[in-house]
Amino acid sequence: MTDQASASAVRLAERLANVETSAIRELFKLLGKPGIVSFAGGFPDAALFDVEGIREAMLAALATNPGAALQYGATEGFDPLREQLAAFMASKGAQALAPTDLIVTTGSQQALDLIGKTLVSPGDKVIVEAPTFLATIQCFRLYGAELLTVPVDGQGADVEALQHLIELHRPKFVYLIPTFGNPSGAQMSLERRRRVLELAVRTRTLVVEDDPYGDLYFDAPPPPSLLALSHEVPGSRACLVHCGSLSKVLSPGLRIGWMVAPPELLAKATMCKQFSDAHTSTLAQATAAQYLAAGRMPATLQRVRRIYAQRAAAMVQALRQELGAAIDFVPPRGGLFVWARLTGANGRSADGAALARLAIEHGVAFVPGAPFFARDPDPATLRLSFATVDEERIREGVRRLAKALEQAG
Ligand SMILES: Cc1ncc(COP(=O)(O)O)c(C=O)c1O
């Protein structure tokens, strides 16, 4: 065969050189082992889905307006759902929000993609938290963003460091998960939220708030979202993009997310969505609209919050008991994750990736934290999800983790 004949006809776009398949996906291949306790997923628990409520909502959607539920729809979203989502956010403090201030997206993941597509030119600087959601890192990189990182502690992103980075680099935008972030689990304090909005206004910097977990609080509601707080900080709404999702609270399979943004950005994002998937599934949108209109959400939220809170408490207690000084973490106040750091105390290993491999041999899986850093990874970090494991299995999984750590030395 000549070189020409053997050469592939596939010549990939240069931008793909900026991203690689995530280390986490590789790890997931090992999870098929029977009996394994998995803290690795980022999924809600399928056993908690309100199947009956969703079934009724879908039947109602097909009964009331089958033509609309099964036909092509507007790119911006199905109007009854936009109305319900605006009302849902208003119930959480967002003021003066019209249904036309948001578009429905295919999961909030698509909102993030549309943000990358509409805002990032190759070489543009974007600030993200360290650590942050892995798919966001990959998505913004795909569009050529140069990612800068702001550290996160138990109170969320460090606003002073953020100010310094903004003044120095004049980024295209800042991406934050202020409430129970993935993977940090952190809850940004009210004071920091105010300062972020003031900083955005003062420096005319766009801030993207990604908020798929805010409804999953345990004991007390978190401070208001940046969106809800924006009416207290004049001018801040014009600097703010807010992404929401029904994935973690209702069902990720519905693929219902949304995005609130300044009108000029929303118009361009809508245009790009038109070329991408035309619109989010009308059947899923009509189902979600019926579900919200039926008033089922408060009870669903109450139920999932209670169960996740119990599981989080079981994991926190087991980690303290079984791993003691070898591990350090801030107990989460909501969300699906414990974000932890191996301290290396008593000569124990502080290598998250090595422990993840060994842990699988011991019958427990988690995700090492390093891939969640857009730069300067901290190899001692781990993300442990308690969401899909019952309390007894959580305790068993943590015991196995302690054994793996013992063996790691
Ligand atoms: C922080 C964050 N943003 C966005 C998403 C995307 O969720 P979806 O596209 O299902 O709404 C996730 C899912 O894990 C997430 O953790």
Read off the pLDDT of residues 394-404 as tens digits, 9 standing for 90 and up.
Answer: 999 999 999 99
Q: Which atom of ligand 1 is nearest to the CA of 255?
A: 10
Which of 22, 49, 110, 182 for a ligand 1 pocket mutation test, highest count of atoms within 8 Å of Cβ? Answer: 182
User: Does 199 lie in the same domain as 88?
Assistant: yes
Return d(Cα 57, Cα 286) in angstroms, integer: 8
Mean pLDDT of 32-58: 94
Same domain, 146 and 175: yes
Does 105 sit in the ligand 1 pocket, CB within 6 Å?
no
For residues 129 and 223, membership in a common domain is answered with yes
Q: Measured between alpha carbons, how far is 169 from 186 in angstroms, rounded to an integer? A: 25
Please indicate, yes or no, whether residues 117 and 217 belong to a single structural domain of this protein: yes
The predicted pLDDT at position 116 comes to: 98
Q: Which two tokens stand for residue 390?
A: 């019952």
Range of the domain at 387: 13-42+299-408
Model pLDDT, residue 3: 59
pLDDT score recorded for residue 213: 98
Ligand 1 atom at shortest distance from the alpha carbon of 245: 11
Count the Cβ atoms, other than its own, within 10 Å of residue 129. 29
Mean pLDDT score of the chain:
95
| Residue 49 resides in a domain | no
- Both 337 and 268 in one domain: the answer is no
Same domain for 93 and 210?
yes
From the CA of 248, give the closest atom in ligand 1.
10
Q: With 70 as the cut, is the pLDDT of residue 4 above it?
A: no
Mean pLDDT (whole number) for 31-49: 90
Quick one: 93 and 205 in the same domain?
A: yes
The rounded Å distance from CA 401 to ligand 1 centre is: 27
Flag whether 220 is in a domain: yes
pLDDT of residue 246: 98
Token pair, residue 349, equals 């290993």
Instruction: Please tell me the total count of domains within the chain.
Output: 2
Q: Which residue among 133, 137, 138, 213 has the greatest number of ligand 1 atoms within 8 angstroms of its CB, and so is best to mutate?
A: 133
Determine the pLDDT at residue 111: 98
- Model confidence, pTM: 0.96
- pLDDT tens digit string along 363-376? 999 999 999 999 99
- pLDDT for 347 equals 81
Pairing of strands 327-329, 256-260: unpaired
Q: Tens digits of per-residue pLDDT, 291-323?
A: 999 999 999 999 999 999 999 999 999 999 999
Is residue 151 domain-shared with residue 264, that is, in the same domain? yes
- Closest by CA position to 73, among listed 98, 106, 108: 106
133 and 271: one domain?
yes
Q: Which of 243, 268, 294 is the last residue of a domain?
A: 294
Q: What pLDDT is attached to residue 58?
A: 98
Domain CATH code at residue 290:
3.40.640.10
For the domain that residue 345 is a member of, what is the CATH number? 3.90.1150.10
Is residue 47 domain-resident?
no
Q: How many CB atoms lie within 10 A of CB 309?
A: 18
Calculate how far, in angstroms, residue 104's C-alpha sits from the geometric centre of ligand 1. 14
Strands (E), 146-279: 146-153, 156-157, 173-176, 206-210, 240-245, 256-260
Centre of ligand 1 to C-alpha 244, Å, is 9
Q: Note whether 235 and 201 are within 8 A (CB).
A: yes
Classify residue 182: in a domain, yes or no: yes
Report pLDDT for 211: 98
Is there a domain that residue 7 lies in?
Answer: no
pLDDT at 388 exceeding the cut of 70: yes
Mutation pick for ligand 1 pocket among 22, 25, 210, 211 (CB with most ligand atoms within 8 Å)? 210
Would you say residue 287 has pLDDT above 70? yes
Query: Over the stretch 231-269, which tens digit does the pLDDT of each residue have?
Result: 999 999 999 999 999 999 999 999 999 999 999 999 999
Instruction: Tell me whether residue 391 is in a domain.
Output: yes
User: Beta-carbon neighbour count of residue 221 at 10 Å?
Assistant: 14
Mean pLDDT of 107-118: 98
Averaged pLDDT, 122-135: 97
The rounded Å distance from CA 24 to ligand 1 centre is 15
- State the distance between the two ends of the chain, measured CA to CA, in whole angstroms: 53
In this structure, is residue 4 part of a structural domain? no
pLDDT band of residue 22 (cuts 50, 70, 90) is low
Is the confidence at residue 151, as pLDDT, over 60? Answer: yes
380 shares a domain with 284: no
Determine the length of the chain.
409
Whether the CB-CB separation of 343 and 326 falls below 8 Å is answered with yes
Q: 128: part of which helix (H) or strand (E)?
A: strand 125-130
| pLDDT at position 2 over 60 | no
pLDDT for residue 169: 98
Query: Last residue of a domain, which of 294, 324, 343?
Result: 294
CA–CA distance, 99 with 110 (Å, rounded to integer) = 19
Does residue 303 share a domain with residue 289? no
State which of 294, 318, 333 marks the end of a domain: 294
- 177 CA closest ligand 1 atom index: 1
Tokens of 27: 């790890």
Same domain, 322 and 175: no
Domain-embedded: residue 55: no
Q: What's the mean pLDDT in 123-151?
A: 97
- Tell me what pLDDT residue 23 has: 63
Q: What is the largest CA-CA distance in the chain?
A: 70
Please, are residues 44 and 304 in contact by the beta-carbon 8 Å criterion? Answer: yes
What's the pLDDT band for 5 if we cut at 50, 70, 90?
Answer: low
Q: Is the CB of 257 under 6 A from ligand 1?
A: yes
So what's the pLDDT on residue 50? 98
- Between the CA of 409 and the centroid of ligand 1 the distance, in Å, is 35
pLDDT in tens, 46-101: 999 999 999 999 999 999 999 999 999 999 999 999 999 999 999 999 998 999 99
244 CB near ligand 1 (under 6 Å): no
